[in-house]
């Protein structure tokens, strides 16, 4: 009977193999013909980041645990404009794997997207639980791209990150693009926005950046092709002395960037999750599709 079927499902305890199935499903649906640069990958990374980056280390509120961006008003916060696209993509996966929590699904989506876009492994483990609208944090916890170094430090120190980690995290802007309909800004940071590289840092140093003349918010464009962009907060990474040291190190070594990016992203995606909730004492390495046995 139907009652029995529900009972069987409630007793289901997923293993690492089950999470790999979810990973593979996400990997399957990343590439599309009719969206942006041909991949949902970048916007899925942005969803995982915005779900996690609301964390405040002092009050221990926010972070990826409760996936509160599902609810009004957090879903409508200005910083989250356009992330309905990513939540809709993830919802299709949720229908197929209803046992996974939204927080686990969204962070695993970020991990799968980065790894399948040629990035490093991002150690990850499940354990986030679905929460309620009342657990959402107030608007204003995510960074504002029009601001400077003080603001970046204020926002990221609150999450528990240091200058080196702020710079490493910013390297995610090798991926994706700005949409004037979402943030007001426009354009990609690199020529290969669906492949993770250290090009974001290289371009910051190698190109001449000039203020774009347009009616939109203040952003920079590369003088040579005028097809790439930098946000004011990206540009401070080569203006502030402490940030610049790390930006140069990452421009010089993609290996160093990948190692530091992996470490800091793994931590970012676990912000706000009580340790005892995790099903395993250490994060797992989820194999890329190309690394799995056929
Ligand atoms: Zn972003 N980001 N971000 N970011 N971000 C945008 C897009 C993307 C800032 C920011 O204001 C913006 C991190 C840090 C910071 C991604 C990942 C990560 C956009 C464009 C803006 C305005 C949104 C749009 O119009 O669609 C600021 C100020 C940051 C402070 C340092 C961190 C950390 C990230 C992940 C680790 C990604 C992947 C995108 C591209 C999304 C897409 O749809 O292509």
- One pLDDT digit (tens) per residue for the chain, 294 residues: 455 555 556 678 999 999 999 999 999 999 999 999 999 999 999 999 999 999 999 999 999 999 999 999 999 999 999 999 999 999 999 999 999 999 999 999 999 999 999 999 999 999 999 999 999 999 999 999 999 999 999 999 999 999 999 999 999 999 999 999 999 999 999 999 999 999 999 999 999 999 999 999 999 999 999 999 999 999 999 999 999 999 999 999 999 999 999 999 999 999 999 999 999 999 999 999 999 987
Whose Cα sits closest to atom 12 in ligand 1? Answer: 145
pTM of the shown model: 0.97
ipTM score of complex = 1.00
From residue 68, alpha-carbon distances to 75, 101, 134, 191, 244 in Å are 8, 12, 8, 34, 34
- For residues 155 and 140, give the distance between their C-alpha atoms in angstroms, rounded to a whole number: 9
Q: Which of 32, 38, 49, 122 to mutate to test the pocket of ligand 1 (most atoms within 8 A of CB)?
A: 49
Position in ligand 1 atom list of the atom nearest CA 147: 28
From residue 15, alpha-carbon distances to 19, 20, 38, 100, 128 in Å are 7, 9, 32, 11, 15
Q: Which of 174, 238, 175 is nearest to 206 (CA)?
A: 238
What domains are there in the chain, each with its CATH number? 2-141+265-291 (1.10.520.10), 149-258 (1.10.420.10)
Q: What are phi and psi of 56, to 5 degrees?
A: -125, 115
Whose Cα sits closest to atom 23 in ligand 1? Answer: 178
Do β-strands 177-178 and 187-188 pair in parallel, antiparallel, or remain unpaired? Answer: antiparallel
119 pocket-lining for ligand 1 (C-beta < 6 Å) = no
- Helix (H/G/I), strand (E/B), else coil: 214: coil
Catalytic site residue from 49, 106, 124, 189: 189
- For residues 106 and 126, give the distance between their C-alpha atoms in angstroms, rounded to a whole number: 11
- For residues 74 and 80, give the distance between their C-alpha atoms in angstroms, rounded to a whole number: 8
Q: 171: CA distance to ligand 1 center in Å?
A: 10
């Amino acid at each position: 009977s139907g009652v029995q079927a529900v009972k069987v499902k409630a007793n289901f305890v997923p293993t690492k193999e089950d999470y790999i199935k979810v990973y593979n499903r996400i990997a399957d649906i990343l590439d599309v013909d009719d969206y942006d640069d041909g991949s949902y990958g970048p916007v899925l990374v942005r969803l995982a980041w915005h779900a996690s980056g609301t964390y405040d280390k002092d009050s221990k509120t926010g972070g990826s645990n409760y996936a509160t961006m599902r609810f009004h008003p957090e879903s409508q916060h200005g910083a989250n404009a356009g992330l309905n696209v990513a939540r809709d993509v993830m919802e299709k996966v949720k229908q197929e794997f209803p046992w996974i929590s939204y927080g686990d699904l969204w962070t695993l989506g970020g991990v799968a997207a980065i790894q399948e876009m040629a990035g490093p492994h991002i150690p990850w483990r499940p354990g986030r639980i679905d929460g309620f609208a009342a657990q959402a944090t107030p608007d204003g916890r995510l960074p504002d791209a029009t601001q400077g170094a003080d603001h970046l430090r204020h926002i990221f120190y609150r999450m528990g990150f240091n200058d080196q980690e702020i710079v490493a995290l910013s390297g995610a802007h090798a991926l994706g693009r700005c949409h004037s309909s979402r943030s007001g800004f426009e354009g990609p940071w690199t020529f290969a926005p669906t492949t993770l590289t250290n090009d974001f840092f290289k371009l910051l140093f190698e190109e001449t950046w000039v203020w774009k003349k347009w009616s939109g918010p203040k952003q920079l464009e590369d003088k040579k092709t005028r097809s790439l962009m930098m946000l004011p907060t990206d540009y401070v990474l080569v203006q502030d002395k402490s940030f610049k040291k790390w930006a140069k190190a990452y421009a010089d070594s993609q290996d160093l960037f990948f190692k530091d990016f992996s470490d800091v992203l793994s931590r970012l995606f676990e912000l706000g999750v009580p340790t005892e909730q995790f099903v395993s004492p250490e994060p797992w390495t989820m194999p890329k599709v190309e690394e799995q046995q056929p």
